[in-house]
Amino acid sequence: MDVTIYHNPECGTSRKVLAALQDAGHAPQVVDYRKTGWTREQLASLFGRIGVTPRQALRTKGALAGELGLLDGASDDAILDAMVQHPILVERPIVETEKGARLCRPAETVRELL
């Protein structure tokens, strides 16, 4: 089964999900989205597969979302634009398999894809 994880190696939850995938015998494609960035199309497709809105996938921990005015009243388009400009604004980790895609918070959510 092909597995992709959109990963931030500095995030404990992301590291835990990657370890769970590897422990289950998978060799996932690891995408450090902080380096590769996102496109609007990629995010819209991922969020559609997951079943979340850009606001629901917005990382609100940390100051950046607030500094950019994304916490109150920002449109989904504005949030997507900010996510493309600042990839760290996307909550992580996101895992894709043949069974679907999930925002794996909490980490145990990854089990739904295995």
Catalytic residues: 11
> Which tokens is 98 given?
């043949």
With a CB cutoff of 8 Å and minimum separation 6, the contacts of 60 are 66, 71
CA dist 2 and 54 (Å) reads 25
CA dist 22 and 46 (Å) reads 22
What radius of gyration, in Å, describes the C-alpha atoms of the chain? 14
**CA 66 to chain centroid:** 19
Helix (H, G, I), strand (E, B) or coil at 97: strand
